[in-house]
Structure 1
């Protein structure tokens, strides 16, 4: 579905999806960084926060992608083809990240011989069985992608701020819901 030509900013649901996912990504990264030593109560609590954040990121990202496919996006701000291409590439990688990274986490836990258990619920997610060799590969991949996406997220934020300060266009305002 194509966006209407008169809609310049993102819709309220698209903005809500975006910022909810941003907050959940920050929580997931924070939780895994401060979780504490193995066997500690702190580690258990923060690991559960990480699992919940990742599960919600996956859920909201799929819903966001479906919403985007159904409702489209506002017209692009960019005039330069290279910048438009780079923006699309970064957005695509962010979508891949927010869907693939939580799936890799679930597969990693499953391959380690455990279902993903979400604290406070009776929900246990088991996509694959125990596979010790796959567990190590999945763990290394999950960590590598997580670290790589610090950079992609930073690039995305830097580009939005750069557009706002240098180009003085509506790129950032479109996602803040403050179009002028």
Structure 2
């Protein structure tokens, strides 16, 4: 199957919605941490509203990520630019694989921790957060490097839909 020249509108919308939800999760997670600790201690969960919001957004990310991955498998994604150094294309691919993995790993470990009170899963979820943040940073730096250093339209492809 030939690679498309750009992303579809639904791929772009899913990218930015998922990105916004992930950032929200990273910034607004204190209530779920307190509620989880209270739950493990057998205490009343004072922060239940914020905790349920975090859990709901996490499940939403999981569903949207599954849809996004399905579309990517069916439609494909644009090929990397050949004039970008091969090592950078490889790093970009590896970063995307890692980010897709996190879009599934984080909601799953969080759900297992929350719904089944599994502390090990909560620990994995927390370690995942510590790895996810620099991975997102690396992704953003890579997109900016493609745009400003290599002067290609990689970044613009994620802003403007194409029909192909």
Matched residue, 1:164: 147
Taking structure 2 as the reference length, the TM-score comes to 0.84
Matched residue, 1:26: 23
Matched residue, 2:53: 49
2:14 paired with 1:17: yes
The Cα shift of 1:44 comes to: 2.1
Distance 1:85 1:36, change over 3 A: closer
Q: Distance in 2 between matches of 1:2 and 1:165?
A: 27
Alignment RMSD (CA, Å) = 2.1
Structure 2 alignment gaps of length 5 or more: 36-43
Query: Secondary structure, in 3 states, of the residue corresponding to 1:176?
Result: coil
Matched residue, 2:77: 73
Q: Deviations over 1:130-152 (max 9, x none)?
A: xxxxx221111100001210000
Q: Deviations over 1:4-37 (max 9, x none)?
A: 4xx2x21111101100100110111122046685
Pick from 145, 158, 162: which aligns with 2:128?
145
Q: Distance in 1 between matches of 2:32 and 2:88?
A: 38
- Tell me how many residue pairs correspond in the alignment: 153
Of structures 1 and 2, the one scoring higher in RCO (CA 8 A, sep 6+) is: 2
Q: Distance in 1 between matches of 2:63 and 2:156?
A: 26
Structure 1 alignment gaps of length 5 or more: 113-134
Matched residue, 2:96: 91
Q: Deviations over 1:80-136 (max 9, x none)?
A: 211111111000000000011101111112331xxxxxxxxxxxxxxxxxxxxxx22
Matched residue, 1:2: 2
Taking structure 1 as the reference length, the TM-score comes to 0.77
Q: Is the 8 A contact 2:110 2:125 kept in 1?
A: yes
Q: Is the 8 A contact 2:32 2:52 kept in 1?
A: no
Matched residue, 2:116: 111
